[in-house]
Amino acid sequence: MTGEDGGMGNHGAGRATGPATAPRPAVGTQHIATHHGGPPTGAHHAVRPRRRRPRLTVLLAVLAGVVLLVLGVLAGRMTAPGPTEVPAAAPAASASPVSDAPVSATPAATHPTSLGEVVRVDSGDEIVVRVDGQEQTVSVLGITAPRLAGPQRITAECGAKAALTFADDRLSGQTVTLVPDPTVPETDDQGRRLAYVVLASQLNYTDAALQAGVVQADTTRKLWYAPVFAREQSEAAAADRGLWGPPCGATPGQPLPAGS
């Protein structure tokens, strides 16, 4: 009995002490050990959280770059020269209206343009125009007509009468517009008004006389349309019109022969 009791006692003691001597491994303890000190396994990497420190580093770098950019812009504004510090550009050299300006452009008027009536024709390049009730002697710009005989000239130049007739036929009694040229004064030393004479048909008398060859192009003044006038004279001379053909047979740029 005693043995059975003792055996039973031992068996009972074995059941009581069994768990203490052979404990089952704790799952929670094993997980903690694996997480902190265990070897790296696939399962370990699967459950390992991603590190966020690199994102924070990139964000800080971008923020620092933005701050530096803003500081650079502000520094540039502070050091940029103000309007008074920028040197003024040198003015461009004024171009000659004869050589550089397009001859087809209308020059800016520096003297008044007048409307009047031609009351008398004195020569191929001089007329008298009534403007606002007062008569003005006008020297037509761009041309030089052959001189008529008179107190200061015993013999007329060849073509003088033809030029007078040409001007009289086209200008006498006509309403004309007196157009100035910005390259010359409003009047000459003799008090004559210097102007182009434009008919109501918009025909410039200077062009008409040069194309007909009854006058010479004025080369003593650098007029706005001087290249045009030179070309018109060359064309008339090439065709032997007016002064450039018989009976005068004149040569451009040379004195006119005597005649009538």
Residue 56 within any structural domain of the chain? no
Residues in the chain: 260
- Per-residue model confidence (pLDDT) at position 120: 98
Q: What is the mean pLDDT of each run of 10 residues along the chain (260 residues)?
A: 40 40 43 40 45 60 65 50 37 35 50 94 98 97 93 86 97 97 94 97 97 96 94 97 96 90
Residue 85 within any structural domain of the chain? no
Instruction: Please state, as a whole number, how many other Cβ atoms lie within 10 Å of the Cβ of residue 229.
Output: 23
Q: Check if the beta carbon of residue 146 is closer than 8 Å to that of residue 156.
A: yes
Residue 231 within any structural domain of the chain? yes
Q: Quote the domain boundaries for residue 235.
A: 114-244
Residue 159 within any structural domain of the chain? yes
Residue 41 within any structural domain of the chain? no
Residue 61 within any structural domain of the chain? no
- Per-residue model confidence (pLDDT) at position 152: 73
- Per-residue model confidence (pLDDT) at position 104: 43
Residue 84 within any structural domain of the chain? no
- Per-residue model confidence (pLDDT) at position 51: 52
What is the number of domains present in the chain?
1
- Per-residue model confidence (pLDDT) at position 54: 56
- Per-residue model confidence (pLDDT) at position 161: 96
- Per-residue model confidence (pLDDT) at position 111: 78
Q: Check if the beta carbon of residue 183 is closer than 8 Å to that of residue 204.
A: no
Residue 217 β-bridge partners: 143
Helix (H, G, I), strand (E, B) or coil at 103: coil
Residue 1 within any structural domain of the chain? no
- Per-residue model confidence (pLDDT) at position 62: 67
What is the distance in angstroms between the CA of the first residue and the CA of the last residue of the chain? 183
Distance CA 162, CA 145 (A): 10
CATH number of the domain within which 119 lies? 2.40.50.90
- Per-residue model confidence (pLDDT) at position 108: 55
